[in-house]
Copies of this chain bind each other. A is one copy, B any other.
Amino acid sequence: MMYLVAYDIELDKNRNKIAKLLLKIGLERVQYSVFIGPLTEWEYGEIQEKIEILIKEDPTYSVLFLPLHNDMIQSIVEVSSNKLDWEYLKGEKTIMIL
């Protein structure tokens, strides 16, 4: 299943750790604090658990996890100076064009 993960994390140290975690698990960074990519059910659970542990001492934080159905990904509109490679993000091809 594809997911969008967006965060607002006050402490630099924890924000950086979580960014690394999201990239390591295979998500792509589509904005500074927004990531999109496929996660298995197991990965989805694991990542939530790891993030909860990492940020539980932070004064303020918010991490949103949105499942993205395929028809929704088709409807995403991007106004951007650097277009994303949506075919890659949708898993329709395996090499990303940057």
Chain B nearest CB from A25 CB (Å) reads 15
How often does this chain occur in the complex, in copies?
A: 2
Residue of B nearest to A44 (CB): B77
Chain B residues in 8 Å Cβ range of A59: 81
Whether the pair B33, A7 counts as a contact (CB closer than 8 A) is: no
Interface size of A in residues (CB-CB distance below 8 Å): 35
Whether the pair A63, B51 counts as a contact (CB closer than 8 A) is: no
Q: Mark A3-18, 1 if CB is under 8 A from B, else 0.
A: 0101110000000000
Whether the pair B65, A76 counts as a contact (CB closer than 8 A) is: yes
Whether the pair A48, B69 counts as a contact (CB closer than 8 A) is: no
| Interface of A toward B, CB cutoff 8 Å | 4, 6-8, 30-34, 48, 51-52, 55, 58-69, 72, 75-82, 84
